[in-house]
Structures are given as structure tokens and as C-alpha cells.
Amino acid sequence: MEKVTKNVSVMCFHDELCQVYNALMTSLSLLREGSNVTIFFGSRGVNAIHKDKVKDLKCMPDQPKEIGDAVMKRMEEMNLPTVEDLFVMLHMEGARLLACPLNVPLFDMKKNDFVEGVEIANPATYYKEVVVKADMNLTF
């Protein structure tokens, strides 16, 4: 089967577990199909890259607790990787992981708070070099 190389920009602006999970799984799938993937975490998405907060991401916090708990149970039964595992895979397999330079201080974070592999995006070049040049721009 032929692999197609694309430049993919994924933006994650949420810290809700399902949104973060979808962004990371989509990114990993595209990466494994040969695409160059850059994932940008902005707005509340920066909470997903915080090495302590990532463990406490909530599933469907706007729904009754039992619904979120049921989804979490099904994910566990399916033996899906954790968000932390996905970050390790993405980093080790070559995805670029970028944090918004404006939202990091807004959420009182520092670079040493990040999961491994995350860098702060350069606002002078990020849009020009990543978003505009991307073959696909996906937002979660």
C-alpha cells in the first residue's frame, strides 16, 4: 500500500478528554501513514500538555458523571492507550508538539510543566511555516 506524505497541522484548543484523545489519535494515525504532523495546543488545550494536569482530564464534563464514567470504562475495556502513552508515541515517532506562547503564561505554566517533547511555538513563524504550508489543517 502506498503511503502519502502530507504536511498536517492539528490544533487542539480543548482540555476535555475525548477532544484531546481524538486530536492525538488522529495525529498518530496520520503520522504512521507517513505525514509530517505538527500539533499545536492553544487556549485550554495547554492543560493537556501539562505533565500533572494530563492525568486528570475529564471525559464529557458537561454530561452527568455516569455518562463520562461509562465512556471511560469502555475505553479501558477496549485497551486503548492512555493520553500519556499517546504523547510518548507521538514524540518518539516524530510529531512536533507545540504549545501556544500566549496561553502558557495565561494558564500559569512554564516549559518544565510540559510532557516530554513539547516546545513553545514561535509566534513569528508558526502560522507562516506550519499552518499556511499544511496540506491539511485540523482543529479539535
pLDDT digits (tens, 9 = 90+) for 23-59: 999 999 999 999 999 999 999 999 999 999 999 999 8
Q: Which residues contact 88 (CB under 8 A, 6 or more apart)?
A: 116
What DSSP letter does each residue of 29-45 carry, written as one string?
HHHHTT-EEEEEE-GGG
Domains of the chain, CATH where assigned: 7-139 (3.40.1260.10)
Query: What are the respective helix, strand and coil percentages of the chain, to the nearest 5?
Result: 45, 20, 35
| Angle (nearest 5°) at CA 35 between 75 and 114 | 60
Q: Using alpha carbons, select from 13, 15, 21 the residue that is nearest to residue 62.
A: 15
Ranges of residues in the chain with a pLDDT under 50 are none
Q: How far is CA 137 from the centre of its chain?
A: 14
Per-residue pLDDT, 1? 65
Letter for the amino acid at 99? A
Say what the pTM is: 0.91
